[in-house]
Amino acid sequence: MHRIHLGEFEELVLLLVAVLHGNAYGVSVMEEIEQQTGRSVNISAVHAAMRRLEEKGYLRSEWSEATTQRGGRRKRLFDITQAGRAALEQSRDTYLKLWDQIPGFAPKTNMA
Amino acid sequence: MSAAKPPRPPRWADRFLEWYCQPELLEEIQGDAYELFDVRCEGKGPKAARRAFVWDVLRSFRLSTIRKITIQFSPDMYKSNFKIAWRNMAKHKMYSSIKIGGFAIGIAACLLIALFILDELSYDRHYPETGRIYRVIGEMTEGEFAGKGVDFPAPFAKALKDEFPEFEKVARINPNSLFTGGGNPIRRAESNQNTYEEGFTFADQELLDILQIPMVYGDPKHALDEPNTIVITKRKADKYFPNENPVGKTIIANNNTDKPVKIGGVIADFPPNSHLQYDFLITMKGVEFFPGEGNNWEASNYHTYVLLRPGTDLAKLEQKLMPIIVDKYLGANLSKAEVEQVKRTGRIYLQAVPDIHLHSADIHDGMSHGDIRFVWLFGAIAAFILLIAVINFINLSTARSANRAKEVGLRKTVGSTRGYLIAQFLSESLLFSAFSFLLGLLLAWVLLPYFIQLSGKSLQLPWFSWWFLPSIAASTILVGLLAGIYPAFYLSSFKPIQVLKGKLSKGSKNSGLRSALVVFQFTTSIVLIIGTLVVTRQMNFILNKKLGFEKDQVLLLQGTQTLGDKLPTLKKQLQQLPAVDAVTVSDYLPINGAKRNGTEMWDAKKEQQGNSFASQIWQIDYDYLHTMGMKIVAGRDFTEGMRSDSQGVIINQALAKKLNFTQPLGERITNGYQKLTIIGVVEDFHFESMRENIEGICLVLGNSPNMVAVKLHSDNLQKAVQDISATWKSIAPSQPIRYTFLDDSFAQMYNDVKRIGRICTNFALLAIIVACLGLFALSTYLAEQRSKEIGIRKVLGASVGSILGMLLQNFLKLVLIALVIAAPLAWYLMQEWLKDFAYRYQIRWDVFVLAGVAVSLLAVLTIGFQALRSALSNPLDALRSE
C-alpha cells in the first residue's frame, strides 16, 4: 500500500485543526493560520485542503447547529481522526530523526 | 433608512456561487464567505468587504467545487433518442425530405466550392524550396509607365547575382512570342512532318536549379548548360520519343534546319497547380535576340526568378534593390531628372512563388491567373447557401413546435429534465445532419463532372486523404449542433402546464424570428440573382460593344511564317477565292494573346526634353485596315507604291489625343531609331481586354509573317474554309493548316467572365431552390395550422380570392422587405466588381425589377399551390372534428 502523502499546507491545516480542537471550520482555521504563521491565505485554499484531508481520512466533519450568524447557515466543524493524528506523529518523527542527524543542531525542546 | 440595513455582499457574486457550487459544499463555502464578509465589514468597511467577497467567490471556483455536469452516458438513452428521432422523421416525410434535401444541396455546394478553393490555394507549393523562391516585380507608382510588371532587361539577373549576396540563384525565362516563345512547329530531326506545339519558353539552367523539378532523363545540373539545348516535359517526350531516352537526340523548330536543338533532359510535367505551364524550355545560353542584348538595359523581356539564401531579411533586401540597380546600371542611360524620378516612384520587390497564382491581378505578366477575390466570393456563396439550408432547418423545427409541444409537456410531466429534452432534440438534428451529409456527399460526387466543366479545373473528391472523412464527420456534428441548438433550447423551454392546457398558440409564437430568417434567405437569394444578371449583362455588353473593328467572319491562319517566300503567293491566291473579301499578313491582332510590341516613343521635336510616352508599334501590310474593318478618321491609309509610306505611321485617336497635336497629320514621332511621319488617324479600336482603356498605337508598314487574317463574305463558311484549306495544301503540303476565327478568339478573352457568370448562375439557382423549398414547407405548415380559421372565414362568406390574398400577403411582405434590403447591397457589390472594367455596363433599374419580379413570382408559385388548396378546401372538412 502506498503511503498517503501529506503536503506542507495540508500538514499545517491538519495541525491547526488539532490545535483548535472542536472549533475548527473554514474561517477559524484561516484566521488561525494568519495569526500563528503570518501567512495570508484565501478561504478557498483552506476549504480545498480540508476537503482533501477529509478524503484522505485524516479529518472528519459534522454540521454545527444553525445560528443567526452567517445568514443562518451551519458551520462544518472539523476534527482530526486517529489516522490524522498518526500521520502527524509520523511526520514529526521523520523530521526529528532528520534534525538529529545534522551535526551542530540540537532540537530546542525535547518533545518526546 | 438605508443606514439601518446591514451591508450585503454583492448579489451577483452570491448567485454565481450558488450557480456553480456543488449543493453539498454550498452551505459551508457560502456560510464561511458570509462570516468573513461580516468580519471584514467591521474591520475594513463594506466596500473592501464586498471586493473580498467577490474574490473569495472567484477563488472558490475550482474543479473540485463546481457542479458536476450530469450527462448520463447510457447507450440505451441514445438508442431511444435516435429511435424517436427516426420515427419523427419517418412520420413527417415531406418536412423531413425538405429539411434533408435542402441541407444536402447546401452541403454539396459547400463541398464543391471547398474543393475549388483548396485547389486555388494549392498553387506552387510543391517545389522543395518553395519558401525561398520569389519572382521579381518592378513597380512604377506614377507617370506614363505606372503599373507593375515582371519584364526585366537581359543583364538584370546577372546584376542581381553580382550585387546582392542574398540571392543564391537567379534565373531568367523569356516566353515572349516576339522571340519565338509561345507556339512553334517542331519535328524530330529525321522527320519532315511538322507538328505545332505550344508552351515554348527560353530559360536559364538556373531555373531548373531553383525549381528542382524532378528529372526523368538527363542531368538536372547540366541539362541546359550548352547552347542549343532544350528540356522537354515527360508528356512531350512520350509523344515524340515513345519508349526511348530522348537525351542527346535533336529536334528542329520552325523549320530552322541550320540550328537543330539537342535535348538536354526530360522533366516531369508541370502539375496543373503550377503557374508555370511550359513544355519546352530552350536554353538561353549563347542566345541574343538582337546584337548586344546581353548588355542592353533598354529592352525588358525577361521574367526573373530568384532563390534567396536562408534567413534573408526580405524587407531590407527589397529596399536596397532599386537604388543599387539604378545607380550602378540603369542610370547610365537616363538623365539626372529621370534617375531621380525612378528612384522616387519606382521599386523592385519580390513576390513569393505561392502568391503568384492568386495575387497577381494587377501585375502585367501575360499569364492568366486566379484571383483571391473569387476565392473569397465563392467561399461566401458557399457559406450563404449552407446558411440558407440551416435556416430552413431552424424555421421548420420551430414552426412545428406546436406539434412537439404536447410531447414536451408530457415528457416533462413524467419526469424528463430539460437537459434530457435538449439531448433528445439535438440527437434528432444530428440524425438529420448525418442523412444530409450522406446525401450531400453523394450529390457532390454526382455533380462533380459538371462542376469540373463549370470551373475549368481538374478536381476530385479526396476520399482517401487522411483528413477528408474525419473532417466530414466533424462537420456533420458541427452543422447538426448548429442547426439544432436553437430549436432544442426553444422546444425544451415549454412549461408543461401551459402546453397541456393548450395555451401555446400554435406555431405563431416566435414568428418574428422566423420572418427575419426568411427575409435573410431571400435577401441572399436576390443578391445572388442580381449579381448573376449583372455579370451576364456585362458579358453581353463586352461581346456586343462596338469595337472599332469587325470581328465576324474573319479567319486567322496561324504559323504562316514557315511558308517563307511562298507567303506572298498564298496571299495572292487567297485573294482570288470567291468567298474571300480581303487578306492581310500581320501578327498584330486586336485580341488578347496576339503579338504585342510596347515601346517608348517621343514627339520628334521634343525628344531631347525626355517626354516619352508608351505606345504599341504594330507592323501591318496594305490590306490590314480594310480586312479588319477599321476606319480612317483623318488622313489616309497606306498606299501601295508610295515609297515614303515606309516612313509613315497611322496612329489611333487615343494617341492623337495624348500627343496633343492640333493637327496630327504631317507631325513626326520617333522611337529613338527612326522618325515616322503621321499620315493618318484610325478610329480607336479595342485591342486589349475591356478591363483596360484603349492605349496609344502606331501602325507601320512591316513584315510580321506569323499570321494571315482572311475576311470572308460568304454565307457558306464551310465551303470557304474548304477552299482556303485546299489553297494552303497546294502551297504547303507538308504542313497541316491551323486556323481559328477572330470572333472565337475574341470571345475567349472573356472566358473568365463567362465562367464567373456561369458559376454565379448555378449557385444562385441552388440558393433560390433551397430557399423556396423552405418557404414551401413553411407555408404548407402554416396553412395547415390555419385550416380552422380558413374554414370559419369561408362559412362566414369570405371568397376564395380574399383567403388566397390573406395567405399570400404574409410571405410576399417578407419577400418585398428582402428586395428592399438586397437591392442596394447588390448594387454596391456589383459596382465594385464592375470597377475592374474600363468599359462597363451601367446598372439600370430594370435589373432590380427583374430580380424582384422573378423572386416574387417564384415565391407566389411556391406558396400559391398550398394557399389555393386551403382556400378551395371544403370548410366542413376542417371544422367537423370539433
Mark whether B819 and B756 lie in a shared domain. Answer: yes
* Owning domain of residue A53: 8-100
Count of domains for chain B? 5
Q: Are B322 and B227 in contact (CB under 8 A)?
A: no
Judging contacts by C-beta atoms under 8 Å, the chain B residues touching residue A34 are: none
Angstroms from A30 CA to nearest CA on chain B = 10
CB B270, CB B276: distance < 8 Å: yes
Give the CATH number for residue A55. 1.10.10.10
* Boundary-marking domain end, from B710, B726, B748: B748
**Are B60 and A47 inside 8 Å of each other by CB?**
yes
Could you say which residues from 365 to 384 on chain B have a Cβ atom under 8 Å away from some Cβ of chain A? none
CB-CB contact of B120 with B274 (8 Å)? no
Contact B64 A42 (CB under 8 A): no
B59/A contact by beta carbon, under 8 A: yes
Residue B775 and residue B731 share a domain: no
In this prediction, residue A107 carries a pLDDT of 57
Handedness of CA B231, B235, B239, B241 (dihedral sign): positive
User: How do the pLDDT tens digits run along chain A, 112 residues long?
Assistant: 345 678 889 999 999 999 998 889 989 999 999 999 988 899 999 999 999 999 888 999 988 888 777 878 888 999 999 999 999 999 999 888 998 888 877 656 554 4
pLDDT at A106: 63
The count of domains in chain A is 1
* Statement to judge: residues B268 and B209 lie in one domain: yes
Asked if the structure places residue A1 within a domain, the reply is no
**Residues B375 and B113 sit within 8 Å (Cβ to Cβ):** no
Domain assignment present for B363: no
> CB–CB of B62 and A44 under 8 A?
yes
Residue in chain A closest to B59 (alpha carbons) equals A44
Q: How distant, in Å, are the alpha carbons of A35, A73, B6 from that of B35?
A: 18, 10, 13
**C-beta atoms of B36 and A43 within 8 A:** yes
Coil, strand or helix at B587 = coil
What residue of B is the nearest CA neighbor of A52? B64
The closest of B39, B57, B6, B82 to B480, measured between CA atoms, is B82
* pLDDT the model gives residue B507: 47
Same domain, B41 and B157: no
Q: Residue B834: CB partners within 8 Å, gap ≥ 6?
A: B534, B538, B840, B841, B843
Residue at A58 is within a domain: yes
Q: Tell whether B718 and B769 lie within a shared domain.
A: no
Cell of B835: 470597377
B31 inside 8 A of chain A by CB: yes
| Chain B contact set for A76 (CB, 8 A) | 27-28
Nearest chain A CA: its distance from B29 CA (Å): 8
B420-465 pLDDT, tens digit each: 888 888 888 888 899 999 999 999 999 999 988 888 888 888 888 8
In a domain, B77, yes or no: no
Do the chains contact at A43 and B60, CB–CB below 8 Å?
yes
Both B836 and B875 in one domain: the answer is yes
In a domain, A17, yes or no: yes
Question: Among A26, A45, A48, whose Cβ lies nearest the Cβ of B32?
Answer: A26
Residue recorded with cell 513597380: B139
- CB spacing of A70 vs B36 below 8 angstroms: no
Q: What is the pLDDT of residue B438?
A: 93
**What is the model's pTM?**
0.70
One-letter amino acid of B485: I
Q: Are B723 and B780 contained in the same domain? A: no
Interface residue B66 vs chain A (CB under 8 A): no
Nearest in space to B106 (alpha carbons), one of B589, B616, B521, B555: B521
- The predicted pLDDT at position B171 comes to 93
**Residue that is last in its domain, among B720, B748, B776:** B748
This model of the complex carries an ipTM of: 0.86
In a domain, B865, yes or no: yes
Q: Are residues B580 and B673 in the same domain?
A: yes
- Phi, psi (degrees; rounded to nearest 5) at B651: -110, 165
* Residues of A in Cβ contact (< 8 Å) with B15: none
On whether residue A111 sits in a domain, the answer given is no
- Residue ranges for chain B with pLDDT beneath 70: 1-5, 69-74, 144, 177-182, 402, 502-510, 593, 607-610, 881-882
B429 shares contact with chain A (CB less than 8 Å)? no
Gap between the Cα atoms of B604 and B556, Å rounded: 36
Q: Which residues of A touch B64 (CB under 8 A)?
A: 48, 51
Lookup result for grid cell 511558308: B563
Q: Give the span between the Cα atoms of B329 and B161, in whole angstroms.
A: 13
Q: Is residue B731 situated within a structural domain?
A: yes
B295, B321, B356 — which closes off a domain? B356
Distance CA B24, CA B64 (A): 12
B22 touching A (Cβ < 8 Å): no
Does residue B491 sit in the same domain as residue B576? no
Contacts of B31 in chain A (CB under 8 A): 70-71, 73-75
Instruction: List, in sequence order, every residue forming a beta bridge with B620; answer none if it has no partner.
Output: B701
Q: Answer yes or no: do A73 and B36 touch at CB < 8 A.
A: no
Q: Is B65 on the interface with A (CB under 8 A)?
A: yes
Whole-angstrom distance, CA of residue B521 vs CA of residue B524: 5
Smallest CA–CA separation between A42 and chain B, in Å? 7
Inter-chain CB proximity B60 and A27 less than 8 Å: no
Which residue is closest to A26 within chain B, CA to CA?
A: B32
Tell me if A43 is assigned to some domain: yes
On whether residue B394 sits in a domain, the answer given is no
Domain membership of residue B38 as a residue range: 11-59
Beta-carbon pairs below 8 A across chains A and B? 59
Please tell me whether residues B477 and B432 are part of one structural domain: yes
Residue A102, helix vs strand vs coil: coil
B176 touches A: beta carbon within 8 Å: no
Q: CA-to-CA distance for B561 and A10, rounded, in angstroms?
A: 97
Q: Do B27 and A74 count as a contact with CB atoms less than 8 A apart?
A: yes
In chain A, the residue whose alpha carbon lies closest to the alpha carbon of B52 is A42
DSSP lists the bridge partners of residue B740 as B556
Distance from C-alpha of B275 to C-alpha of B351, rounded to nearest angstrom:
13
pLDDT value of residue A2? 44
Which parts of B93-181 are beta strand (E)?
A: 133-140, 147-149, 151-153, 167-174
User: Does one domain contain both B691 and B781?
Assistant: no
Is residue B827 within 8 angstroms of chain A, CB to CB?
no
In a domain, residue A96? The reply is yes
Mutate to test the interface with A, among B18, B34, B35 (most CBs of A within 10 A): B35
**CA B545 vs CA B540, B541, B554, B583, B829: distances in Å:** 8, 6, 17, 24, 23
User: What stretches of chain A show up as alpha helix (H) in DSSP?
Assistant: 8-20, 26-37, 43-56, 82-100
